[in-house]
Chain A
Amino acid sequence: MMTSISDSLVITKRQLLQLIRIPEVLIFSTIQPVMFVLLFRYVFGGSISTGIPGVDYVQLLMPGIFVQTVAFTLAGTAVGLAEDMQKGLIDRFRSLPISRSAVVFGRTLGDGALNIVVLTVMGLAGYLVGWRPSSGFLNVLLGFGFLLLFGFSMAWVGVLIGLSVRSARVANAAVFIAVFPLTFLSNAFAPTTGMPKALQYFAEWNPVSTMVAGCRELFGLQNIFGVTANSWPSQNPLQMSLIYMVIIMAIFIPLSVRKYINTASK
């Protein structure tokens, strides 16, 4: 058990080293979400009204962008693993006397850790354009913890995708197709009330929505974008999000580890 943890940490460290050796990766993976913050803040910020006096769009927007960004964690995971497989590194790892989950655990931990940097930079950028969470330091911290956990669980989905596709490019496309609609069919950027009825139900149960609503709560806002019905997820977004994360991990961790063990380089 101890060795399996230290094996995982060696893999995690490898990823952090990669970031030091090629800093562009880190730079671009933070620029993109910051760009989103600025675009949404200034392009839609003027035209979308929150309907609450004294609360401007940026307060609602930031949790949405945070969740979208960590949801895309799985892109990095999937692409990274697909590349390792293409280059034969996974083969080499599999020929080493290390625990069978170390490589994938190390990877998800590393991708989770990368989110700390990204969220910090985004938070600062948000602050500069007027984001002011009103719930106190501890709650804000809790919110970020929540986001990190979500990123970590999404990374496990990425492991399965990365190990299943034929190349890194396919991984990237697959992730985009899966995650992009999910983040927009939600309450992240606009009220769900404007959607057709069927989409509204989807949006309400969408884990991205419950995460966004949960974060809004933790950052001191009412979740006004998701109140189309009195459904349980919109009433209890934090609990629902936790349940989702547990479900995701319960399904994807064993599947991913099994896939890793049985996988052969392509």
Chain B
Amino acid sequence: MKFTTMSTVKSVIAENLVKTYDKGKVTALNGLSLDVEEGTVLGVLGPNGAGKTTTVRILATLLTPDSGHATVAGIDVIKDPDKVREVIGLSGQYAAVDETLTGWDNLVMFSRLYHLSPSAAKKRAEELLEQFSLTEAARRPIRTYSGGMRRRLDLAASLIVRPKILFLDEPTTGLDPRGRQEMWGVIDGLVKDGTTLLLTTQYLEEADQLADDIAVIDHGTVIARGTSDQLKRQVGGERLEIIAESQDLQKVTEIVEKVSGGKAAVDQGSRQVSAPVTTGSKALIEAARSLDDAGIHPLDIGLKRPSLDDVFIALTGHVAEEKKEEEIVDPRARRKKKKK
């Protein structure tokens, strides 16, 4: 066999997906393309209604696109959905477990549906409950669980057969900071074990934290793609920012302009001088040295990189909206919202 230079395998490929609802009146996806390299995490970042869920549902074989093409683990999701289902795990936007049953009942049931033997199903349920710190709540009906517990159980149910490829639709929406941290820990563990992950989120911080690669989507298409560093650079590079006493501002401005080689922005109110720089930490050191030589002690000095929030605003022209807590537990709230 000939050696090829292509060293990466794409676990997920979507090409030009188009999906409309309500007989073409609502365009959810408008030629969306993305791919996920094996063993990596792709964060799909987008505001409400961007098409995240629709994308996930198509890739997880729950929905057929109007046009376009997609493969998961090399299998065509439209032609061979049954085979795709054997290699994926899915945890949807809203916890989809049987509320009247206990956590234990649910995991045993789903294990049986993955064709584990009765004893293997029980063993797996036990393991997962342990892994997700739900052992104590195992015998309680899900309806008594908190939002975070539900979410964890839902994720556990999608991990029964240790899928190679996992789709998580907004796994932390509606969780409190602690719940989110816990979920991130769990997801990190999965990724370390080599799971390929496609994760949607509205939280810029989350994409930054978990994803190797980020696809920003809006109105059903990918509007930017890259690592979080690349995206930040695309919006504009780093800025050198110095805050100093008022009487020093004049001198500080001179130093900043010398280091950056451009014009500095001065904000008298916050006593901040800033300018774009291209040399990174070198610029920072140089500025610090010059300030020291001039006998100026700045109140604060730093390199500020644009946050993903800045990226989002620059790319979409609007801020990513955050959702309200109640929406994850009650799908009806969402339906009301959508009707408007």
Contacts and interface: CB of A to CB of B under 8 A. Distances in A.
Given A14-B109, A264-B63, A22 B100 contact: yes
A96 B100 contact: no
Given A88-B92, A92-B92, A97-B86, A21 B113 contact: no
A18 B101 CA distance: 6
B335 interface: yes
Interface residues of A, number: 26
B92 A21 contact: no
A95 B60 contact: yes
Contacts of B113: 7, 10, 93, 96, 98, 102
Contacts of B96: 87-89, 91-92
Nearest to B95: A88
A21 B331 contact: no
Contacts of A93: 113
B86 A21 contact: no
B88 A95 contact: yes
Contacts of B99: 87
B60 A18 contact: no
A91 B98 contact: no
Interface in B73-125: 82, 85-86, 88, 90, 92, 94-102, 105, 109-110, 112-115
Contacts of A7: 113
Contact of B101 (A10, A21, A264, A266): A21
Interface in A80-102: 86-89, 91-98, 102
A266 B335 contact: yes
Contact of B62 (A87, A89, A97, A264): A264
Given A88-B94, A89-B96, A21 B62 contact: no
Given A3-B115, A86-B331, A18 B92 contact: no
Given A18-B100, A92-B96, A10 B109 contact: yes
B61 interface: yes
Interface in A226-266: 264-266
B331 A88 contact: yes
B97 A89 contact: yes
A124 interface: no
Given A17-B105, A21-B141, A264-B63, A96 B110 contact: yes
Contacts of A87: 94, 96, 99, 331
A21 B115 contact: no
Given A14-B98, A22-B100, A95 B90 contact: yes
Contacts of A89: 96-98
Interface residues on B, range: 20 to 34
A14 B61 contact: no
- The A interface is mostly helix, strand or loop, or mixed, namely helix
Given A88-B92, A95-B60, A96-B110, A18 B85 contact: no
Contact of A91 (B62, B105, B109): B62
Interface in A46-96: 86-89, 91-96
A55 to B, nearest CB: 44
Interface in A90-149: 91-98, 102
A57 B321 CA distance: 67
A17 to B, nearest CB: 6
A91 B92 contact: yes
Nearest to A7: B113
Contacts of A3: 115
Contacts of A264: 57, 62-63
Contacts of A88: 92, 94-96, 331
B100 A95 contact: no
A48 B99 CA distance: 47
B259 interface: no
A266 B99 CA distance: 18
B157 A14 contact: no
A21 B85 contact: no
A13 B86 CA distance: 23
A87 B101 CA distance: 14
A17 B114 contact: no
Interface in B53-73: 57, 60-63
Contact of B114 (A21, A96, A102): A96
A10 B112 contact: yes
Nearest to B90: A95
B101 A96 contact: no
Contacts of B102: 21
B92 A96 contact: no
A3 to B, nearest CB: 6
Interface string A1-20: 00100110010011001100
Nearest to A265: B62
Nearest to A84: B98
Interface of A: 3, 6-7, 10, 13-14, 17-18, 21-22, 86-89, 91-98, 102, 264-266
25 contacts: A3-B115, A10-B112, A14-B109, A17-B101, A17-B105, A17-B109, A18-B98, A21-B100, A22-B100, A87-B96, A87-B331, A88-B96, A92-B110, A93-B113, A95-B60, A95-B85, A95-B90, A96-B110, A97-B82, A97-B115, A264-B57, A264-B62, A264-B63, A265-B62, A266-B335
8 tightest Cβ-Cβ pairs between the two chains A and B: A88-B96, A92-B96, A97-B85, A97-B86, A10-B112, A95-B90, A18-B100, A96-B113
